[in-house]
Structure 1
């Protein structure tokens, strides 16, 4: 080894004595020989003429760490593109092609995912276990929808013992919902009987409550009554639950004899209407049931409206009473808004109530509000609301409801103020006035 190194040094040393041209020729020959030995592919043309395609899925793309054994894997579709230029073909080869997508039921899945779904159904797993897989559950849903009676019975018999478990599963609950939608009343009765012992537990579950809602929608009326009676003692707790309140909303939508919920809401109205989930139930009652059945609830709500309009959730109840409530409720809310117009208009939640009331207010109410805003207090109430981040929207809505004489009075008052007295929110209102005048 030392002798070979010494001979190379002697050879290079002898070259140093020669002229520069011979040294450059020697270096170029060494470089070409190294490039030829390190890569078996001399040019890109060789890649096209002798492609190496991996037929075996288990074969590694780079079986050796030795760079001398490096080789390209060329796709057959790429080899057929001979009419293109070499640079374009090289770009197509280096940039990976987009996945081929196949349509499937509710969306599109890549070829890789499609193979995964097919392999999952061909495995030794039971149908119940496959329902707990994201992609296999989709195939089972499609098989039940498009299958014949024999295939449906086979799927249902394989799942009937695991219905409570699958109903609370992340992916299995969708299979149960599809079976309820696309089966006959006999199968729905069997599902109802199987789930009935676990009814309360499923109402509190994130996925189980969806199955209960679907069951309420498709079962027969006497079964629906039986289901409602079984959860009647838990209605108040379900109202305050994140998942259970959806079951109660479904009962209000579907059941004709769900008036007992109105009594529960009326007796606990103070807590329910200010709760993030309870206010949904109160709104649903106000939307679905006729006013003659809501008289007692309205009587309980009217004294609370002054406080609820400043509540993050209760303000929606007050807005609903403005639009669809009884006249007495509208008058009571109007008194609150007019008496505290400055405070209400500057609040994040109560300003929505003020806008809703102004939209439906009579001309007499608008005139009264205009007198309140045109007072001589310092700083002027009109200027305070215009420069507020919430009040300027109330003023825009109020200006749209005013008649020509009232609009002229507002513009005269605004012209008294100098430009530096307006904040960025006040300038929003000035831009709104400019748009109104240009129209």
Structure 2
């Protein structure tokens, strides 16, 4: 007996309905269009890949009247366009090239929607652009909407960019509530893939009176952070951009553990930065540590040269030392160069121009 086959009907994709004007625009590549040619079709064009690109390009050099024409049509539909794959770029261009009045009115439309926009793939770009181009009072109004949801935004793949932009662009007093949210959360955020970026921006842009307590929190967790896949970047950032006292505190936590940390996938990057950005005395102590002869006649530098991560620390040491210390380091490396050929990672050192030059 034959059974009827029951095939599942495939969902039909609704055809895109375009106006004759947009169809003509897309198909007629020879005709030169101007913004005035698309009156009453600006929103439709903004939501179309080719139409959106056309409006964006025209806005860059448009007259005040033409910008006003686009603005007037966009305004009633601006929230919908802010989250649109093509429309968001038109809104961004208006924030870049519109006059201050237009920017202010556009930003006003965002009020009450900043959180949902910040968490949306395209909306978050518009929020960032708005924060770049509106005046301080309006920046403060917009960002205040994130109060109570700062951590949610920081941990979100879209929202974190908005918090970073706020820290970069908004005067410190208006984002105090963001900084307050970070208290007690530094370790948690520094070890988060998005949080670690936000923490770096904060140390980069916020005044010391806002960040000193948070920096103390960081110092309490240095030993764990240097070995974390995200936390190590925050520590590296302080070593590159921080105050000398903070660098010394971090290097103090590394000392006594240079060999172990240099062989660690993430911590080795921190040791490199300690060598590159530490003060002369700090650097000297780190190098002395790896040259210290043990009771069996070996010294840490020997195993570091062969290690997949630590060999880069040795290269960095060669890169920055001078005078007596350079000589000492090179003399310790020289006898081992022939033996290093056997090791995949030792070859890095043999091929290093630095060793070649000195030896």
Q: What band does the TM-score fall into relative to the shorter chain?
A: 0.7 to 0.9
Partner of 1:23: none
Partners of 1:144 and 1:323 in 2: CA distance: 40
Task: Please tell me whether Structure 1 or Structure 2 has the larger radius of gyration of its CA atoms.
Answer: 1
CA contact (8 A) 1:117 1:136 kept: no
Partner of 2:344: 424
Deviates more, 1:177-186 or 1:404-413: 404-413
1:390 aligns with 2:309: yes
Partner of 1:303: 220
Partners of 2:62 and 2:301 in 1: CA distance: 69
Root-mean-square deviation over aligned CA pairs: 3.0
Partner of 1:186: 101
Partner of 2:284: 366
Change (3 A) 1:383 1:138: same
Partner of 1:267: 184
Partners of 2:264 and 2:326 in 1: CA distance: 24
Change (3 A) 1:410 1:176: closer
Deviation at 1:207, TM superposition (A): 0.8
Tell me the TM-score normalized by structure 2.
Answer: 0.80
Aligned partner (choices 143, 160, 165) of residue 228 of structure 1: 143
Change (3 A) 1:427 1:185: closer
Which structure's relative contact order is higher, taking Cα pairs within 8 Å and 6+ residues apart?
A: 2
CA contact (8 A) 2:118 2:124 kept: yes
The residue matched to 1:339 in structure 2 has which SS?
coil
Aligned partner (choices 225, 237, 256) of residue 339 of structure 1: 256
Partner of 2:356: 435
* CA displacement, residues 166-220 of structure 1 (integer Å, 9 cap, x when unaligned): 1111111111112222222332233223222322211111111111112222223
CA contact (8 A) 1:318 1:353 kept: yes
Partner of 2:112: 197
Partners of 1:217 and 1:149 in 2: CA distance: 21
Deviates more, 1:350-359 or 1:213-222: 213-222
Change (3 A) 1:322 1:146: closer
Change (3 A) 1:272 1:116: farther
1:114-193 equivalence runs, <5 A: 114-115=29-30, 126-193=41-108
CA contact (8 A) 1:386 1:425 kept: yes
1:22-421 equivalence runs, <5 A: 114-115=29-30, 126-256=41-171, 257=173, 258-359=175-276, 360-363=278-281, 365-367=283-285, 369-376=287-294, 377=296, 380-417=299-336, 419-420=338-339
Change (3 A) 1:215 1:366: same
